[in-house]
Structure 1
Amino acid sequence: MIATRSTFATSRFVLLWVLCPVVALATFRFLFGGVAATMGDFLYHAEMRPVAFYAHIVLASVALVLVPFQFWQGLRSRQIQLHRWLGRIYGISILASGSGGLWLAATTESGNVAAWGFGLLAIAWVGTTAYGILLAMGRNIPAHRDWMIRSAALTMAAVTLRIYLGLGMVFGLDYGDIVSFLGWGCWVPNLLAAEFIVRRGRKGTLRRVAVASVRTA
């Protein structure tokens, strides 16, 4: 049990504090090499829909960088105002990036399967985040936390997508070969994992409440 918890903690640290910022910073490689050289598959988006394209990739990176800070318990407990301001930036970034992503999905040249996958990702991303923020405004913190876990899982679709792209390269596959899979595979497993974490957290809370009730009875 201790080994399992240690492995989970290590995996969480690597995901939040290593992969999230690395993927976010790697997105800005277009500043040095240009979109054609670094993101050639998306050049037509950059040329035809520059506002949607740049809003999507830049602000998604901002949201990705903020994910570990929003789940840093020490920050939430000691700097609640900073947590709230970062949350506002996170929410605004997702609203703009998700809207841009939906536009890109609707106009993609990668086929209907990918279009629907990325389009539903954009809708779910904005929806979970907006609902989570509304719950925070209503002071329903437990539910807020659950929905922001779902939001973060969708934000980290950017990480999952890069992992799949890397695996594809190992097998000689490029973006065009696996884009239909990426449209769904980059976020559906993440959302299922988030749901598992949420439900496990609820069971833990109920267990602690039950134990406390027995002790005070």
Structure 2
Amino acid sequence: MALAMTDASMTDATITLPAIAPRHARDGKLRRMLSRMAILVITMVLVVPVGLVALGSGAGVIALPYEMFELARRAPLLFPAHMIASALVLLLAPAVILTRRRPEFHRPLGRLLGLFVVIGGLTALPVAIISHSTPLARAGFFAQGLVWLYLLGAAYVAIRARDIPRHAHLMTAMVAVTTGAVWFRVITGTAIALRLPFEPVYAASAWLGWMLPLALVLSNPRAFARLLSR
């Protein structure tokens, strides 16, 4: 009797497990597809427009808000260089990610991206110091520049060591920090729309804008690795 029950259990498991496995696989594929669609929508609706506006502002084609105008007047070379280089990083990052399976495109685009990160990061440091923002906000912008440069440097060391998974993870984290420019504008724009106290929100967004996406990437590297896989 016990043997018969064991055989029956094994038969049930044989029937059930193959049915469960494809369902989990389908759920995983669906989650990846939805995540990729969400990233695509965010890129097209937020990242690209913010990058284009920043590029136009740095080039003098789009008028700057008064505070940024004053900062550009005080740092006539550093501030436009920071705006243009950072905008180009935002606009180039999706292309670098999309060509990750095509080394003939990925490598030159990645090197160009790295150059703009170096320019944008190095100019971010003095710009943060001389800005009219509160000390807490200036510290947030300064820290963002340092973390940006560190992640790029660590990713470069990883790829030189042929550690491709670590390189990909660090570059994903670097791109997450880059999107801080987008989320900073979303948070401050929302604060203005809701008539919230501006200065505290501005200072908080100078930190949260880049720390939250960075924490998201660092907290679950395997999920992002699967998301970027074919």
Note whether the superposition's TM-score is higher than 0.5: yes
Report matched runs for 1:120-199 at 5 Å: 120-173=143-196, 176=199, 178-199=201-222
Q: Is 2:35 aligned against 1:8?
A: yes
Aligned to 2:119: 96
Structure 1 residue 6: Cα displacement: 3.7
Comparing 101-110 with 113-122, which one deviates more in the overlay?
101-110
Q: State the one-letter code of the partner of 2:78.
A: A
Instruction: For structure 2, list consecutive stretches of 5 or more residues without a partner in the other structure.
Output: 1-26
1:32 to 2:51 alignment: no
User: Are the equivalent residues in 1 in contact too, given 2:151–2:170 (CA < 8 A)?
Assistant: yes
Alpha-carbon spacing, 1:132–1:121, altered in 2? closer, same or farther (3 Å): same
Alignment map for 1:39-58 (pairs within 5 Å): 39-58=65-84
Q: State whether residues 217 and 224 of structure 2, in contact with CA within 8 Å, keep that contact through their aligned partners in structure 1.
A: no
In 1, the alpha carbon distance for the partners of 2:183 and 2:144 equals 13
Q: Which of 63, 75, 100 is residue 76 of structure 1 equivalent to?
A: 100
Identify if the C-alpha distance between structure 1 residues 33 and 146 changes in structure 2 by more than 3 Å, giving closer, same or farther.
closer
Partner of 1:129, secondary structure, is helix
What is the CA distance between 1:175 and its match in structure 2?
A: 5.8
Q: Alpha carbons of 1:173 and 1:201: their partners in 2 closer, same or farther (altered >3 Å)?
A: closer
**Aligned position for 1:87:** 110
- Post-superposition Cα deviations, 1:63-116, rounded to whole Å, max 9, x if no partner, equal 0011111211xx222x31221111111111011111111111122221211111
1:67 aligns with 2:93: yes
Pick the aligned partner of 1:20 from 47, 52, 59. 47
The whole-number CA distance in structure 2 between the counterparts of 1:32 and 1:200 is 40
Q: Which runs of 5+ in 1 are unaligned?
A: 205-217
**Cα distance between partner residues in 2 of 1:55 and 1:29:** 12
Q: Give me the TM-score of the superposition, normalised by structure 2.
A: 0.78
Q: Please, what is the CA RMSD of the aligned residues?
A: 2.1
Percentage identity across aligned positions? 23
Contact 2:176 2:214 (C-alpha < 8 Å) held by counterparts: yes
Deviation at 1:142, TM superposition (A): 0.7
TM-score, L = length of structure 1: 0.82
